[in-house]
């Protein structure tokens, strides 16, 4: 199989784990993947994986604290059976499956870091097609939202964050800090009845 | 684009690697950037254009794709999308590989995208042993070498045989 063709396929493997397993098929495939390593590192935004403590079958295993990585597509197929200590909220699982369809288009930009309001707060860096995707505003109990603004945002606050009724903290990780005025504007649009009180409670950082 | 409209009825002949000739309307052929460039540079206005890398079966598929996309107006994007997914459905891997190579050679971006994506979708989340079987790839690793490759990125193989 010509390497040109292998490269075309490699470019379309979204998960980094698929990329590495591609190289285990045979030596020519490994060589193709190896030649694309620099390109992959430079140009491709990797879909982050979930780092989860799997349920321990024995006390010895629980002691070992072995975390495992799960890809978004693995989660989509059916979440692994997590122990009670590391359960994922349905919102997070749903959000992840949404991300799979978005990242499948191969045009992810920008990054979300979301801490959903669930007991053990899984910490999820998530790339998204749209800075504030509808998926995120539908998670109504979201309390903390950290946004790494992409270039396409120009540092402005997207209006639909006004839909996040339970937001307590909004943080931007880039040089552009969210300003109170545009947050107020977003909330006036979506929740005029209590926008003033709400927006004053939101911690900006 | 202007030239494709004024020469709408012109046809050209494409010849596959196994010698079969295909008469194609020019606006259909223009789906291929390779053919477009050839026509623009006027190096093949009357003659048969040989495509030595593409067999007749693959070329027929390629031209079917081009015709559909050339004839459909841009307002029918939904129809084209369902045509695309139907087009590749049930296609065997050998045909799919030939299609990717042909689309790459003829520079038909849309076809290249959907065909390569289909192969990538087939590979993802499958154990590498199964990928070998699907694509009839010979395993040229010794057990030690394969173990070493797995060890480089052990996490990527977790949950796989």
Instruction: Report the gap between the CA of A122 and the closest CA in chain B (Å).
Output: 20
Whether A192 has a pLDDT exceeding 90, the answer reads no
For residue B74, the model assigns a pLDDT of 63
Whether A131 has a pLDDT exceeding 70, the answer reads no
Tokens describing residue B102: 């042909």
A73 to B125: CB separation less than 8 angstroms, yes or no: yes
Dihedral angle of Cα A186, A189, A195, A200, to the nearest 10 degrees:
10
d(CA B105, CA B51): 9
Residues of B in contact with A19 (CB under 8 A): 156
Greater confidence (B88 vs A161) lies with: B88
Q: What percent of chain B is modeled with pLDDT above 90?
A: 40
pLDDT tens for A92-126 read: 544 554 444 334 333 333 233 333 333 333 333 33
Instruction: Report the gap between the CA of B34 and the closest CA in chain A (Å).
Output: 17
* Top-ranked range on mean pLDDT: pick from A57-61, A192-196, B142-146: B142-146
Report, as an integer, the average pLDDT of A4-23: 87
Query: By the CB < 8 Å criterion, does A17 face chain B?
Result: yes
A9 to B127: CB separation less than 8 angstroms, yes or no: no
* Top-ranked range on mean pLDDT: pick from A1-15, A153-167, B26-40: B26-40
Greater confidence (B151 vs B10) lies with: B151
Residues of A in contact with B160 (CB under 8 A): 21
Evaluate if pTM is beyond 0.80.
no
B97 to A1: CB separation less than 8 angstroms, yes or no: yes
Give the single-character DSSP code of A152: G
How many residues comprise chain B?
A: 161
Report, as an integer, the average pLDDT of B74-88: 81
Whether A128 contacts A155, CB under 8 Å = no
For residue A172, the model assigns a pLDDT of 59
Residues of B in contact with A24 (CB under 8 A): 128, 141, 146, 149-150, 157
For residue A151, the model assigns a pLDDT of 36
Whether B67 contacts B28, CB under 8 Å = yes
Residues of B in contact with A73 (CB under 8 A): 124-125
Which of A20-24, A144-148, A176-180 is least confident?
A144-148
Instruction: Report the gap between the CA of A84 and the closest CA in chain B (Å).
Output: 21
Instruction: Report the gap between the CA of A28 and the closest CA in chain B (Å).
Output: 9
d(CA A167, CA A135): 15
A8 to B112: CB separation less than 8 angstroms, yes or no: yes
Which of A67-81, B117-131, B143-157 is least confident?
A67-81
Whether A68 has a pLDDT exceeding 70, the answer reads no
Query: By the CB < 8 Å criterion, does A23 face chain B?
Result: yes
pLDDT bracket for residue B21 (50, 70, 90): very high
Closest CA to A132 of A167, A98, A108, A161: A161
B123 to A9: CB separation less than 8 angstroms, yes or no: yes
d(CA A187, CA A196): 8
């Amino acid at each position: 199989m010509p390497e040109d063709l292998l490269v075309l396929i490699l470019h379309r493997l979204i998960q980094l784990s698929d990329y590495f397993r591609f190289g285990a098929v045979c030596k020519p495939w490994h060589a193709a993947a190896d030649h694309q390593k620099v390109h992959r590192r430079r140009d491709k935004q990797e879909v982050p994986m979930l780092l989860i403590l799997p349920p321990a079958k024995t006390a010895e295993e629980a002691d070992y604290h072995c975390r495992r990585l799960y890809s978004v597509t693995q989660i989509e197929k059916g979440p692994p059976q997590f122990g009670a200590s590391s359960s994922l909220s349905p919102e997070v699982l749903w959000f992840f499956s949404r991300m799979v369809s978005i990242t499948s288009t191969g045009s992810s930009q920008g990054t979300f870091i979301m801490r959903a309001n669930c007991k053990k707060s899984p910490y999820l860096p998530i790339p998204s097609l749209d800075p504030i995707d509808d998926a995120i505003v539908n998670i109504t109990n979201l309390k903390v939202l950290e946004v790494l603004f992409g270039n396409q945002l120009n540092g402005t606050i997207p209006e639909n964050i006004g839909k996040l009724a339970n937001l307590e903290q909004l943080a931007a990780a880039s040089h552009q800090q969210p300003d109170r005025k545009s947050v107020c504007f977003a909330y006036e649009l979506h929740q005029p009845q209590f926008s003033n009180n709400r927006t004053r409670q939101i911690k900006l950082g | 684009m202007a030239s494709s409209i004024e020469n709408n009825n012109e046809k050209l002949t494409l010849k596959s690697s196994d010698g079969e000739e295909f008469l194609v309307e020019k606006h259909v052929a223009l789906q291929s950037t390779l053919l477009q460039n050839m026509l623009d540079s006027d190096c093949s206005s009357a003659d048969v254009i040989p495509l030595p890398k593409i067999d007749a079966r693959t070329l027929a598929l390629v031209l079917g794709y081009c015709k559909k996309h050339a004839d459909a107006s841009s307002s029918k994007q939904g129809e084209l999308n369902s045509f695309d997914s139907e087009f590749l459905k049930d296609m065997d891997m050998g045909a799919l590989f030939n299609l990717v190579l042909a689309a790459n050679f003829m520079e038909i971006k849309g076809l290249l995208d959907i065909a390569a994506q289909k192969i990538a979708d087939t590979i993802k989340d499958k154990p590498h042993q199964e990928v070998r079987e699907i694509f009839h790839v010979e395993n040229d690793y010794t057990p030690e070498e394969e173990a070493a490759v797995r060890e480089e990125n052990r996490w990527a193989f977790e949950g796989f045989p």
